[in-house]
Structure 1
Amino acid sequence: MGASEKTAAGVSTLPLLPQDILVEILSKLHAKSLVRFRCLSKFFYALTVDHAFGVMHRSLSLTLPSRAGILISISSSRSSPAYYTINFSEQNPRRPGMLQANRLAYLDAEPFLKGSLRSSFDGLICLSTPNGDVVVCNVSTGQRISLPRIQFHSPHPPSTRALLEFDSQSKRYKILMSTWMFDQVLEFKYWILTVGADKSWREINFSSSHPFSPLDSYPYPSYCDNSVYIEGIIYFYNWLAKDDYTRFHIVAFEFGSESYSLIPFPAEVSSSSSQYDPSNYVLGSFGLLQVDGGRLAIVLVHKRGGQFYMDVSTWEKSKECWEKITMIIPLEKSRAIQQSVRYTTNHVGEIVLLCKNSERFSILVYNLKSEVWRQFDVGGVEFPFVCHTDVRMYRTRDNVLSLE
C-alpha cells in the first residue's frame, strides 16, 4: 500500500471512532491544522466550524503554553507594519533564555494592514483606517473579513477607532466603532456591529454630557497601551479628557447591554504621568491589563534615582477605589529597560514587559503571587528600525472559530 493510500485509509477510519474521543483528539491540534482538516470531508468541516467545539478549543488554549503567546506589531511612518508572534514554550535551543519571534509573513503584503492595529482579543486582531474601513483577521488561521463601511455625511473626513471584543450573551464577537467628525461643531458618534450576524452598523446613542473616545492620536500614543476585556466588559482610556488629568477616566463598555460607565483614574498615576521630574520619570506608557484572576489593573514602570520600579494599581469593585503595590525591578533585569516599555499578560496571568532599545527586544515577566522576575532576549526581529517606530504588544492564543 502506497503512502497516499495509507493516508486515505487512516482518514476514512477516523469518523468510526467514538465522537467524544475524536473531538478530544482534534481539540488538541493547532488551529492551522484544524483548518486543513475542513477540506477532508463534510464531517470534519461541520465539527471544526461548530461553535461549541471552537469554544472548547479556545478554552484548552488557555491551559497549553504552546497554544498561547504574544503578538508584536511594529510600524513607522516610513514602512509597512511588521507582525511577529512569540511563544513562551519555544526557547531557542542554542541560546538558553532567548525566545524566537516568528514573522507572520502572510500578513506582510496585505494592503488593509496599513490601517491601525489598536484592538486584539482571543487570537483575533481588528484593524481600522481613519475613513472607516475595518478588517478582522484570525492570527492563527489567516482568515480575514472586511466589514461593511459606514457612509459618513460630513464635508470633513472622520476619525474612527474600532474595538473588538466578545459578547458573552449572544456568544458572538462585536465591534464598537467610535467616530468623531467636525461639521461646524465637533460631533461624536458610536456604532456597533455583530460579526457574522449584522450586515450593517447600528448607531447607538449616549448622553452628550460624557462623550468618550478611545482615539489616541499624536502626541499621546506613548501614554497608552491596548484596551482590556474582562467578563463581558471592555475597558479603555477616554482620550477626550487627556488634557486634564484630574478628569481623566477609564470607560467600561458592556457589550451585552451596549452601555457604559466611567471609572476615575488613579490620582497618583495621573500626577506622575503629567509632570516631569528628573529624579522620578515614567518610561513610555501605562498599561491597562487584567491581573490576578480577573481584576482591572494599571501598570506603570518608572525610574527613581538609579532604580527602576513597577507600580500595579488594581481596581477594587466592592470598595470603588484603587489599591497600589510597588515592586523593585532587580538591577540585572532593569538593564533591559532603556527606551520604552509595552505591557500585556501571558496565558497564566503574569505581567509581561516588552523592552526595546536600538539593537534588540527583551521581555521581562513578573509573577504577582510568587514575586519572581524572569528575563528573555527576543531573537528573529529585524533591526535596525527607522525613526518614529510604534511598537504594540498584545496577548494572543489559538482560535479556530470562523469569522463568517
Structure 2
Amino acid sequence: METAKRARPRYDYGERRPPPELPSFPPEIIREILLRLPAKSIGRFRCVSKLFRSLSSDPAFAKTHLDLSLRNDAFPSGRTRLVVNYRHNFYTVGFDSIVDACDGIRDLGAVEIPQSPVMSNLVSSYDQDDLWIEVVGSWNGLVCTINEEADVFLFNLTTGESKRIPSVLELLNSGSKRGKINRFGFGFDAITDDYKFVALVTGDVLNASVYSLKTDSWKWVGDLRYVFDDNDDDGLLVNGAIHWVARCREDGRRVVVAFDPTTELFKDMALPDQADDCPHAHRGFLLNKLNGRLCMIYTCRKHDDFWVMNEHGVASSWVRVRISVSYDFMKPLCSVRNEEETLMQVNGKLVLYNFRNDTSTSLVLKAVQLHGYFEANTYIESLISPNSYGRA
C-alpha cells in the first residue's frame, strides 16, 4: 500500500522557522503596567527597550510611581528598606527579611552597596580606619549622607544615582559670616517639590543656612536664639519638619526646635514636663520617631523608658513609654505587623521588640558581623533622581 506523501513545509529546510509575534501594547498600557511594579524591578527593565528606559527615567513617571507605591499598602515590601552603615560600607535589608524575623528567622538578609562617591572622595587623604560617613536623613528614596570633609551627597540607593551638594564651607568663605558647622538636617518642601539641606553654623550667634536642590544654591535664613550642648546629632525629619534638641539662649530652657522647610522658619516646642527629672548629672536627649510620631530618648546611662509625642506640636500629648530593655543607646527603626513589633537599634545590636508582649529578640545580619558602632536607618525604594532637579 502506497504511503501518502507528507505535505511539504511552507519554508525551506535551510531556513529557520519564523518566531511567533510578540504581543504589542500601546505605550500608555505599558506605562500603567510599570507604574504598578516595584522600583527595583523597573530599574532592571531599563535595558529591555528604549520605551522602558524613557519611561523609567522620566521625572513625572517617577513621581507618579512613588505616589502610587506610598498609597498601596498591599506591597510594603516594595517600599521600605533598612540601610546599615558599618565600617564605611553600606548594606541594605529588605522589608520581607524583617517580616521573616517576626516568625523566628533571626538572620536578616543583607546586600552590600558598592562604594559611594562620598567615601571615595576621602580615600586618598585619610586612613580607612579613620573615615566616617553619616546618614543625615532620607525622604522619597533619596538618602542624604555626609563625611568628615563636610562633603554632602544625595543618593538613590535603588537606581545608584547620586549628586554632590556644594559645600556650605564655600558659602562661609565667600561671605561676611564666619563660624563652625554645628548641626545638619535634611527635609522636603512639599509645596514647591524641593529637597532642602539645612546647616546650623555657630559663630558669634547661631546662624542657619539652607540649600535648595531646585536652585542648587545656599542662602542664609536668619540668626537663631538657640545653643546646643546635648549632642551632635543631626536633625530628625518628622511630620514635615526637621527637629533638634537645643537650649534657648536667653534663659537656658531646653526645647525641641522645629524647622519648616516650606516657610524656612524655626519654632520651639516644650519637652515633657518630667523629662528633666532624670537623676543623671549629664543627662541628654536624642530625637527619633516611632510609627511616624516624634519620640525623645535619653542618651545618659541606663534607662528603660522614653517619650512619644502623640500629637505633633502639642506639649500635653507627650506620653512616657516603659520597655523591658535597659539601654544606653536606643533608636526605633521601623514597625511591622500593625505596629505590634518594632525593629530597633539597641546597645550595638539590632533588636525586634514586641510592644504587646514586652519581649525582645536579637537579630543578626547575614554576611556581616556587627562589632562595635554601626548606624542603621530606613529608606523607601523609588525612582526619584537627585539629578532631575535644575535651576528654577
Map of 2:343 onto structure 1: 352
User: What's the offset of the Cα at 1:89?
Assistant: 1.3
User: What's the offset of the Cα at 1:319?
Assistant: 5.0
User: Structure 2: which amino acid aligns with 1:70?
Assistant: L
1:131–1:159 Cα contact (<8 Å) kept: no
Distance 2:112 2:106 in 1: 19
SS in 1 for 2:88: strand
1:126–1:162 Cα contact (<8 Å) kept: no
User: Structure 2: which amino acid aligns with 1:201?
Assistant: W
| Counterpart selection for 1:26 from 1, 23, 34 | 34
User: What's the offset of the Cα at 1:396?
Assistant: 1.3
What pairs with 1:112-151 in structure 2 (closer than 5 Å)? 112=121, 114-129=132-147, 131-150=149-168, 151=170
Map of 1:392 onto structure 2: 375
Q: Deviations over 1:294-320 (max 9, x none)?
A: 54332559998xxx8443331535854
What pairs with 1:213-362 in structure 2 (closer than 5 Å)? 220=231, 227-230=236-239, 232-238=240-246, 247-272=253-278, 274-275=280-281, 286-291=286-291, 294-299=292-297, 309-317=304-312, 319-329=314-324, 334=325, 340-346=329-335, 351-356=342-347, 361-362=349-350
User: What's the offset of the Cα at 1:251?
Assistant: 1.3
Structure with higher Rg: it is 2
Distance 2:151 2:273 in 1: 37
Distance 2:332 2:235 in 1: 8
Distance 2:105 2:386 in 1: 36
Distance 2:280 2:189 in 1: 35
1:364–1:375 Cα contact (<8 Å) kept: yes
User: What's the offset of the Cα at 1:158?
Assistant: 3.0
Q: Could you say if the C-alpha distance between residues 32 and 324 of structure 1 is closer, same or farther in structure 2, counting changes exceeding 3 Å?
A: same
Distance 2:38 2:350 in 1: 27
Q: Could you say if the C-alpha distance between residues 286 and 175 of structure 1 is closer, same or farther in structure 2, counting changes exceeding 3 Å?
A: closer
| Counterpart selection for 1:89 from 86, 93, 96 | 96
| Counterpart selection for 1:194 from 209, 212, 217 | 212
2:344–2:353 Cα contact (<8 Å) kept: yes
2:300–2:328 Cα contact (<8 Å) kept: no
Distance 1:261 1:352 in 2: 31
1:233–1:253 Cα contact (<8 Å) kept: yes
Q: Deviations over 1:91-150 (max 9, x none)?
A: 679x94214241433136832584432323333221234554211111222211111233
What fraction of aligned residue pairs are identical, expressed as a percent?
A: 19
Map of 1:102 onto structure 2: 110
TM-score (norm 1): 0.70
1:191–1:203 Cα contact (<8 Å) kept: yes
Q: Deviations over 1:19-67 (max 9, x none)?
A: 2x43343234333332343444443334223444323433415732322
Map of 1:71 onto structure 2: 83
Distance 2:105 2:182 in 1: 40
TM-score (norm 2): 0.72
Map of 2:126 onto structure 1: none
Q: Could you say if the C-alpha distance between residues 46 and 105 of structure 1 is closer, same or farther in structure 2, counting changes exceeding 3 Å?
A: closer
Map of 2:365 onto structure 1: 379
User: What's the offset of the Cα at 1:253?
Assistant: 0.9
2:83–2:91 Cα contact (<8 Å) kept: yes
User: Structure 2: which amino acid aligns with 1:116?
Assistant: E
Q: Which runs of 5 or more structure 2 residues have no equivalent in the other structure?
A: 1-14, 123-131, 388-392
SS in 2 for 1:142: coil
CA-atom RMSD, angstroms?
A: 4.0
Map of 1:402 onto structure 2: 385
Distance 1:143 1:158 in 2: 30
Map of 2:190 onto structure 1: 168
| Counterpart selection for 2:353 from 340, 351, 365 | 365
Aligned residues: 348
Map of 1:279 onto structure 2: none
2:201–2:208 Cα contact (<8 Å) kept: yes
